[in-house]
Structure formats: C-alpha cells, structure tokens
C-alpha cells in the first residue's frame, strides 16, 4: 500500500514491516515494537484504511489494541514530510511501558548530529567513523542524519505527553537499530498516545531545525533586557567561595572603567548554603544573605543566587522528618536519586502540594531580600526517582512543576536560569537555559562543549537566552595566580583501594591565551549569556583585557556554524551584528593550517575586517579572508 504527497513521500507496507521513501533516503524493513515491564513485543500490523493522505494500521494482542498511523506532514516552510504516531489501549495497567512506532534497522550516513535532553550531551559524528567514544548514542527532540547533501530530520514535540527518545548503535558507516520510542513509568494510564514522530528531508538543515523550533515555541518573549553580562563564583572558587571573595571581585569590577559599564550581575553559586535542602547562609557568609544582596545592590549590581531547589541532602531536616515531600524508589520509599561529585541526596517530589508551597515560599523570601537572578541547578536529577506521589502526572511534566511555583513567586522581580533543565518543560517559566556542558579552562572542555553550543543555535533568543556556561579569561599565561592549579575537584573519586589515576589529579586549567580566545569566541558566537567566572584580581593585564573585550562585545544574532553537518566540530561560523558580521575560523588541529572564508558566498560586501582580539587588520582579497591559523586557535574577525 502506498501513500504519496506531491511525489516526495512514499510508504510501502508489507506487514509487519514497512519502507519509507523520502528525498535522498530510502529506509527499508522499518518496524514497531512495545516493551511492557521490560518484555519486548513485536507488533504484526494489518491495514485498516489508506488513501493518498494517510495510512492506518492495526494490531490486537494479549496486551491490548494498537494503531499505527502515518500522515503527511508540513513544517512552517510547507516542506513535505511524514508524521508517525502509535496509540492503543492497554489490557491492564503496567509499571513500565516503552512504545516504539519507528525502528530503522540500518542507515548509511555521512554525518549524525544528536541533541542532549538538557545541557551538553550533543554529539557530532562524521562517517566513516574510525574511532567512536561509545557505540551507543541517544538523542532527544531532534536527530539530524545527513547523506549525499540531503538531511533527514527526525523529531518529536518538545512538550510531550510521554518521554520520547531516539537511540541506536553507531557503526563505521552509519547507524543500526535506530529506535524512536516514548515511555511511561509508574503511571496509571490505560489509553496510550505517543507524541507524533515527524520526518522531514531537505538540503537546508538549518532551515528545518529553525522551523521545528518555531513550531515548538510555547511563549514569545522579549530578550532585549535579559542579556546582561555577569560574574559567577563557581568555576574558580567552587565550594571555597566566601562572602569576602564575592565582594572582592565585585569591587574589582566596579573599579574597572570597562567592566563596570557592562557587568551588571554578581551570581553566588554553590557553596553559600548550609546544605542542599536547608537554604541558609553558612559560616563563610557571616553577615547572611540579606546583607550580601544589599551590598551588591549598593555597588550597582543585580544580586544572583544559585539553588538546587529539589535536592535534599541526608542530614537536611526535610530528609529526616518530612518523608511525604520526597520522590520515591521502585519500591515506593524515599530514595537517594541525586549523586554528583560524590555528594548524594534525596529529591523533593513536585507533584506534592506541600512541596509546591515550599518552593514558592523559599523563592518569595529570597526575591524579597533583593535577589534578582536565580540559577536553578540539578533539575534533571529529580527524574532519576522512579515514582512520584501523583501517578497521573507524566514524567515529561515533572521539571515544569518544579519551576512553575518558583517563577510565580519571583514574577516581575527576578529572572530564572534553568540548569540541567530538560527542554521538554517548555520555555514559559525560565528566561535562560544552560545549553552547554560544564566548561573549564581546558582543551578537552572546549572541544566537548563546542558541539552543544553550536547544535542549540535554534533556541537562543527564540525560547530563552542560551547559556553556554562560563566565559573564562584565565589560563596559564593570562593570570598571576599562585593558586591557579591548586583545586583538584576529582580527588573526591579516589577511594581507599583506588590505584593512582590521572583523573584524580585533574586541574581546571591547561590552556594558554590563544585557547582562551577560542573559548571566549565560542561564547560570543552563541549570542547568549556571558558570565565571567575567574578570580578577577588575579588576572594579569592580558587576562583582564580578554574579560573586558568579551563583556563589552555586542550581543549579535546567534551564529550559524556553517559546517555543523560536515565535521565532528564546526570550524566556520558566521554571525550578524548590528552594522556588520563576525566570522570565526577555528583550527582544531595541532598544526598550523591555512583557512579561508569567502564572504561573497554569503552576499556580504565588506569594506574592512579586523581581528576582534587585538584590532589588527585582517586582509580581504576580493571578499575572501585567507589566513594561516596556528594549531588549537582561531581567528575572530569583525567585518564592516
């Protein structure tokens, strides 16, 4: 049986499998399956109805009655595509349901781009892949598959009825067992309706992803006042932060003729509180948090504060006394579902009204102290719990139920950054979202983080302000700091019987100034948040100049990483600014190489070009920039 739409989409059904024909992609032997309480069940379909617009298949078995529906789909650009939805009625409730409307046995590819469920965890793979970090991959929301100049986008809605994911195995030439599935866990639903899976093909991947983002924009916001550069305590100080050090950095910024004009927020990150779950100042902040807010405001800054709003450490009074507020294990008891850097904790259950009130009251109190920016962290850890008290609430709504009372409490008084924020919670209740993974002044950190910053170009200033993590100016030659390499955060992983490992001696700085320029260039090209996180008084003249330039830079449009679908890491970026453009060329190799950028290909008429980091002129020959760029460095050119 065939389904046709303008000759570009075709389905051939030969139960139980089917073949999908889309421009540039012929995908055979596709199938569907269910996993109920861990047991896999293949679905043997029969045709119910068909016409040129839709094909409906049905299946009845001991587990229930099932329907698989294919329909023609269009995105905002009226691009022809296909929508697939699996629905059914369970014969009885189950503990754990996974429904996969689409399983692709194998697909040869030139490139794969996956999206993490929250910050970081995006992956870019160029095929043939000689070396793979892991054969398994997972993606949420959008998966981009490229071959022969065409790009297949497989997507689900961001606001979901069930938690959806794409996963499979990477092989040298592409992927195997690519499975698109939706799941329910400890939910009393009998009627099952997966969110539609949409497939579109085009030679314009950026346009496809932008169209998906537009169609999934829940609330349109004005971001013009939200992108205020700031300073955050975490990356340099971590848990050693003190009231004295916060004020020392604030005073440094206030006294600097450039930083004082642009840095408008001071954010105190993890380390100010007694413990997770008891949000009171510890002895390192002897005058308390109301005092600190007043001092920072007096110096002209918006005070900001970090919280892990649902995490409850074991010695917290809630963990000891208020078990009814905690999310649960498989067996229905409060469980230690949080773990990070060897700290562990329970999680609050946001389906409990008492927890909703607790969150509202907590943030109402701190907003009343004068805090105008809240960084909410470890939100995704809540979903590691297996059960929540209200079983009717989908897991895809859990994080939304955390941020909603907080947003209502601070409305009109403060803005919210969601960190480890699952995007399925939507953009209504947060003003910014972390999109990059944790960054440090390390080469590996830069290499891993750049993919996630680049791959989330579609959300910045559309859903929220993208936060790529910190804008770090310190390096081995941009700081005069005897403590630069002193912190060793990974020593927490060394156990009594551990052999000596390089990981345990990890330090957070191993780069020099050219790599700092690259890290900061990526932050600027993201077009979103810019938050310094250095011990500013200990930067040398070159380090302070880097910090000045990055905070004073115009916040341009979100840059397009032009070779995002060609290489493992994008090396050619283009960004529109008010009266010109910024071009970023990155040499990811160890050795120097010649790189070029043809402005004529983008219809850019340029009069001049200068190096953003030192104001040196950049040669333009008939509209072409051609430079020899040292290894592990970049050219960020401003085009007028």
Instruction: Find out whether 460 and 524 touch, Cβ atoms under 8 Å.
Output: no
Instruction: Find out whether 592 and 631 touch, Cβ atoms under 8 Å.
Output: yes
* Strand ranges (E), 23-79: 25-36, 39-42, 46-50, 54-61, 64-74
Position 226 confidence tier, pLDDT thresholds 50, 70, 90? low
Which region holds residue 571: left if phi is over 0, alpha if psi is between -120 and 50, else beta?
Answer: alpha
pLDDT of 63-110, one tens digit each?
889 999 999 887 766 567 899 999 999 888 888 999 999 999 999 999
pLDDT of 40-61, one tens digit each?
888 889 999 888 778 999 999 8
| Predicted local distance difference test score (pLDDT) of residue 13 | 86
d(CA 309, CA 418): 11
pTM above 0.85, yes or no: yes
Q: Residue 620 pairs with which residues in a beta bridge?
A: 625
Tell me: pLDDT of 384 over 80: yes
d(CA 383, CA 348): 11
Lowest-pLDDT range, 138-142, 392-396, 610-614?
A: 392-396
d(CA 55, CA 68): 8
Position 582 confidence tier, pLDDT thresholds 50, 70, 90? very high
CA 79 to each of CA 9, 115, 207, 355, 443: distance values in angstroms, whole numbers, following the listed order: 11, 22, 10, 45, 40
d(CA 534, CA 264): 16
Per-residue pLDDT averaged across 31-43, rounded? 89
| Predicted local distance difference test score (pLDDT) of residue 6 | 46
Q: What angle do CA 501, 507, 513 make, to 5 degrees?
A: 135
Query: CATH 2.70.98.10 in the chain, residues?
Result: 4-215
Lowest-pLDDT range, 45-59, 326-340, 578-592?
A: 45-59
Query: CATH 2.60.40.1180 in the chain, residues?
Result: 560-639
Tell me: pLDDT of 274 over 50: yes
Position 466 confidence tier, pLDDT thresholds 50, 70, 90? very high
Tell me: pLDDT of 403 over 70: yes
* Exposure class string for 478-500: b at 16+ Cβ within 10 A, else e: bbebeebeebeebeeebeeeeee
Compute and round to an integer the Cα radius of gyration of the chain. Answer: 26
Percent of the chain with pLDDT over 70: 98
| Predicted local distance difference test score (pLDDT) of residue 342 | 95
| Predicted local distance difference test score (pLDDT) of residue 428 | 97
Q: Residue 60 pairs with which residues in a beta bridge?
A: 65
| Predicted local distance difference test score (pLDDT) of residue 303 | 98
- Exposed/middle/buried for residue 294 (C-beta within 10 Å: 0-12, 13-18, 19+): middle
Query: CATH 3.20.20.70 in the chain, residues?
Result: 230-434
Q: How far is CA 608 from the centre of its chain?
A: 35
Lowest-pLDDT range, 177-186, 308-317, 521-530?
A: 177-186
Per-residue pLDDT averaged across 156-179, rounded? 95
Domain spanning 230-434, CATH class: alpha beta
Tell me: pLDDT of 186 over 90: no
Tell me, which fold does domain 4-215 have in CATH? Beta-galactosidase; Chain A, domain 5 (2.70.98)
Please provide the CATH number assigned to the domain covering 560-639: 2.60.40.1180
pLDDT of 485-517, one tens digit each?
999 999 999 999 999 999 999 999 999 999 999
Average pLDDT for the chain: 94
3-state helix, strand, coil in the chain (%, to 5): 25, 35, 40
Which region holds residue 213: left if phi is over 0, alpha if psi is between -120 and 50, else beta?
Answer: alpha
| Predicted local distance difference test score (pLDDT) of residue 10 | 84
Position 277 confidence tier, pLDDT thresholds 50, 70, 90? very high
pLDDT of 104-160, one tens digit each?
999 999 999 999 999 999 999 999 998 887 899 999 999 999 999 999 999 999 999
Per-residue pLDDT averaged across 334-359, rounded? 97
Tell me: pLDDT of 1 over 50: no
């Amino acid at each position: 049986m065939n389904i046709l739409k303008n000759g570009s989409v075709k389905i051939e059904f030969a139960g139980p499998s089917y073949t999908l024909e889309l421009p540039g992609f012929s995908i055979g032997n596709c199938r569907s399956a269910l996993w109920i309480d861990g047991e896999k069940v293949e679905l043997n379909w029969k045709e119910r109805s068909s016409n040129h617009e839709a094909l409906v298949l049905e299946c009845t078995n001991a587990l229930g009655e099932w329907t698989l529906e294919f329909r023609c789909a269009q995105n905002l650009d009226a691009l022809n595509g296909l929508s697939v939805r699996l629905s059914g009625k369970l014969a009885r409730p189950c503990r754990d349901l996974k429904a996969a409307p689409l399983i692709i046995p194998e697909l040869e590819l030139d490139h794969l781009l996956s999206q993490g469920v929250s910050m970081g965890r995006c992956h870019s793979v160029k095929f043939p892949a000689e070396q793979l970090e892991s054969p398994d991959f997972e993606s949420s929301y959008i998966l981009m598959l490229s071959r022969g100049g065409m790009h297949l986008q497989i997507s689900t809605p961001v606001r979901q009825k069930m938690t959806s994911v794409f996963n499979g195995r990477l092989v040298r030439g592409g992927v195997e067992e690519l499975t698109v599935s939706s799941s329910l866990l400890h939910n009393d639903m009998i009627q099952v309706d997966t969110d539609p899976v949409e497939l579109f093909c085009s030679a314009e991947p950026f346009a496809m992803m932008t169209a998906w983002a537009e169609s999934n924009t829940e609330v349109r916001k004005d971001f013009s006042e939200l992108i205020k550069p700031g300073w955050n305590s975490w990356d340099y100080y971590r848990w050693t932060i003190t009231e004295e050090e916060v004020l020392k950095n604030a005073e440094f910024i206030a006294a600097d003729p450039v930083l004082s004009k642009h840095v408008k927020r001071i954010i105190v990150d993890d380390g100010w509180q007694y413990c997770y779950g008891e949000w009171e100042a510890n002895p390192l902040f002897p005058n308390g948090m109301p005092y600190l807010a007043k001092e920072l405001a007096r110096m002209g800054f918006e005070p900001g504060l970090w919280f892990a709003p649902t995490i409850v450490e074991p010695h917290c009074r809630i963990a000891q006394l208020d078990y009814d507020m905690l999310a649960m294990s498989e067996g229905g008891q409060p469980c230690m579902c949080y773990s990070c850097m060897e700290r562990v904790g329970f999680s609050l259950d946001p389906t409990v009204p008492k927890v909703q009130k607790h969150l509202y009251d907590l943030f109402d109190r701190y907003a009343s102290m004068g805090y105008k920016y809240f960084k909410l962290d470890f939100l995704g850890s809540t979903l590691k719990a297996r059960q929540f008290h209200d079983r009717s609430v989908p897991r895809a709504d859990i994080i939304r139920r955390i941020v909603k009372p907080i947003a209502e409490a601070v409305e009109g008084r403060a803005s919210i950054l969601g960190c480890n924020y699952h995007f399925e919670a939507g953009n209504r209740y947060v003003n910014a979202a972390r999109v990059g993974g944790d960054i440090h002044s390390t080469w590996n950190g830069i290499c891993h983080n750049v993919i996630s910053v680049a791959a989330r170009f579609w959300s910045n200033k559309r859903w929220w302000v993208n936060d790529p993590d910190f804008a770090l100016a310190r390096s081995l030659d941009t700081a005069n700091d005897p403590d630069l390499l002193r912190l060793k955060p990974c020593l927490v992983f060394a156990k009594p019987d551990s052999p000596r490992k390089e990981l345990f001696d990890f330090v957070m700085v191993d780069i020099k100034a050219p790599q700092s320029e690259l890290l900061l260039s990526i932050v600027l090209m993201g077009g979103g948040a810019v938050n310094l996180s250095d011990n500013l008084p200990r930067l040398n003249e070159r380090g302070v100049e880097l910090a000045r330039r990055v905070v004073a830079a115009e916040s341009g449009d979100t840059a397009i990483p032009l070779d995002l679908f060609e290489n493992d890491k994008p090396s050619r970026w283009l960004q529109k600014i008010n009266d010109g453009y910024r071009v970023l060329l990155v040499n990811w190799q160890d050795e120097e190489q010649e790189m070029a950028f043809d402005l004529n290909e983008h219809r850019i008429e340029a009069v001049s070009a200068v190096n953003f980091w030192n104001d040196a002129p950049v040669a333009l020959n008939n509209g072409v920039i051609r430079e020899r760029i040292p290894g592990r460095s970049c050219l960020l050119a401003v085009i007028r």
